[in-house]
């Protein structure tokens, strides 16, 4: 076995486009967000800290900071049985969070490039009031 191979049980990684498709954020222009959200099979779990979340996050994402997750916080009941697509700012913390969640039995993958790549791909980012957000 190569020392460069990841553990076969380790969570996978997805691109922002794959993440958007799995979470229902890849709807075409003119479609209401609620219409394509229903088709999503996974939940986008944003593990950034509260100040980062308030500045900008994907619509309908669920927020659970990594600091809370590592301290033992559980997932909200509404997302426990669903696949998780974990995102942070750049992809480093989400990788760690996805590994932690997978060790707890969750079906989790992390997003390569995080919210930086999400925003750069033109995917939606909203602030805490629902206006145009930024990636902090």
List pLDDT tens digits, range 40-78. Answer: 789 999 999 999 999 999 999 999 999 999 999 989 888
Residue 132 has pLDDT above 90, yes or no: yes
Q: pLDDT over 90 for what percent of the chain?
A: 74
Residues 6+ apart with CB under 8 A from 114: 87, 88, 89, 90, 91, 92, 94
Superfamily classification of domain 13-120: Rhodanese-like domain (3.40.250.10)
- More reliable by pLDDT, 95 or 10: 95
Note the pTM of the prediction, 2 decimals: 0.85
Q: Are 64 and 78 in contact (CB under 8 A)?
A: no
Helix (H, G, I), strand (E, B) or coil at 98: helix
* List of E strands, the chain: 13-14, 43-46, 62-63, 84-87, 108-111
Q: pLDDT over 70 for what percent of the chain?
A: 83
Quote the pLDDT of residue 7: 52
Q: List, by residue number, the catalytic residues.
A: 88
Mean pLDDT of 8-23: 88
């Amino acid at each position: 076995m190569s020392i460069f191979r990841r553990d076969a049980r380790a969570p996978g990684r997805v691109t922002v486009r794959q993440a958007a498709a799995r979470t229902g954020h890849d709807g075409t222009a003119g479609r209401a967000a609620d219409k394509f959200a229903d088709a999503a099979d996974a939940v986008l779990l944003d593990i950034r800290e509260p100040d980062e979340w308030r500045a900008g996050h994907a619509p309908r994402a669920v927020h659970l900071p990594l600091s809370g997750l590592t301290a033992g916080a559980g997932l909200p009941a509404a997302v426990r049985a669903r696949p998780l697509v974990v995102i942070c700012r750049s992809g480093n913390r989400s990788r760690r969070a996805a590994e932690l969640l997978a060790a707890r039995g969750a079906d989790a993958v992390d997003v390569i490039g995080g919210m930086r790549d999400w925003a750069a791909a033109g995917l939606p980012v909203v602030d805490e009031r629902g206006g145009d957000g930024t990636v902090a």
